Amino acid sequence: MTILAVFNQKGGVGKTTTTANLAAAMAKEGMEPLIIDLDPQAHLTAISGVEPDAGDSIFAFYKDNKPLTELVVHLDNGVNLIPSHVELAKIDTLYAKTGSIIRRLRQALQDEHLSNAGVPILIDCCPFLGILSINAMAAADAILIPIAAEYLAMKGANQLANTLVAMEQIAGKRIPRRYLVTRYVTQRRLSGDIIEQMNERYGKDLCKTRISENAAITESAGFHQDIFAFAPKSKGAKDYAVLLEELIACGFVD
Ligand SMILES: Nc1ncnc2c1ncn2[C@@H]1O[C@H](COP(=O)(O)OP(=O)(O)OP(=O)(O)O)[C@@H](O)[C@H]1O
Ligand SMILES: [Mg+2]
């Protein structure tokens, strides 16, 4: 089963929203996805309505070698979550970028038979580079890169490309990727221009599915619900269901 890192060093592009709602779409299809909050901001944990102590979060895995399986929280919607905690911000200063820490997450997922448990794993990355993002990259079979449909997205494209190259060098592998347009507004002229530019730049790596700007998506997070539970008929719910179909069809999710 695929391990998918949801990554973009740019903040606020929809990484956490995509992790939560793509996983919810998977659960609706009978999969039992595992999502890992690898961001010290712990937004994925918060929108899931979970408030762990640091010792019950992924921080304890890095700091005290606590098994990942002991950290899993079962959410009502059928998704399993390994939560984060603000303490996770200390990881970069606790560890140098040594070879052993880089593959730590991948190794544990293998050793604890999570990566071969027949369930998809999604990793919500933080919007900065460091040990955590590199851990996600080293563990991932593929990367999903949300890009908000706005002017600044294309301005940051070169920086993103350089980052991915650098991360792949450290992780020691070329990782397949798909770019996902988020916060898309059909009526906005700029959105069309941006799609054109993205098509030119990313070609077949650009998802055909676009996630629309949809107020229900933001609201659902405040109610600790996924978009399917909160507004099953919304555009947001439809978009994430279609995204899952596309990722299955292209082999990103199996
Ligand atoms: N399709 C959408 N429609 C409306 N609002 C959205 C959509 N996607 C994301 N948002 C909102 O945009 C904000 C940022 O989204 P999100 O937290 O998923 O981004 P992120 O990339 O994870 O941010 P960070 O880099 O800080 O981790 C949130 O308030 C979220 O509810
Ligand atoms: Mg986030």
Model pLDDT for residues 204-223, shown as the tens digit of each residue:
999 999 999 999 999 999 99
Cα gap 133→55, rounded to integer Å = 21
| Ligand 1 nearest atom to the CA of residue 11, by list position | 25
User: Does ligand 1 come within 6 angstroms of the Cβ of 210?
Assistant: no
Model pLDDT for residues 97-129, shown as the tens digit of each residue:
566 788 899 999 999 999 988 999 999 999 988
Sign (positive or negative) of CA dihedral 63, 145, 19, 218? positive
CA of 100 to the centre of ligand 1 (A): 32
| Ligand 1 nearest atom to the CA of residue 239, by list position | 1
- Whether 177 is covered by a domain: the verdict is yes
Looking at all shown ligands, the one closest to residue 144's CA atom is: 1
Model pLDDT for residues 45-68, shown as the tens digit of each residue:
999 999 999 999 999 999 999 999
Q: What is the pTM of this model?
A: 0.96
User: Does ligand 1 come within 6 angstroms of the Cβ of 197?
Assistant: no
- Whether 254 is covered by a domain: the verdict is no
CA of 229 to the centre of ligand 2 (A): 20
Q: Mean per-residue pLDDT for 135-139?
A: 93
Maximum mean pLDDT: which of 22-36, 93-107, 127-141, 147-161: 22-36
Q: How many structural domains are present in the chain?
A: 1
Cα gap 179→208, rounded to integer Å = 9
First CA to last CA across the chain, in angstroms? 6
Taking residue 118's Cβ as centre, other Cβ atoms within 10 Å add up to 9
Ligand 1, atom 25, lies closest to the CA of 11
pLDDT at 96: 66
- Whether 43 is covered by a domain: the verdict is yes
- Whether 100 is covered by a domain: the verdict is yes
- Whether 157 is covered by a domain: the verdict is yes
Q: Note down the domain range covering 43.
A: 3-249
- Whether 176 is covered by a domain: the verdict is yes
Domain with residue 139: its CATH number is 3.40.50.300
Confidence at 19, pLDDT banded by 50, 70, 90: very high
Picking from 187, 95, 192, the residue whose alpha carbon sits closest to that of residue 149 is: 192
Is residue 71 within 8 Å of residue 108, measured between CB atoms? no
- Whether 90 is covered by a domain: the verdict is yes
Is residue 1 within 8 Å of residue 118, measured between CB atoms? yes
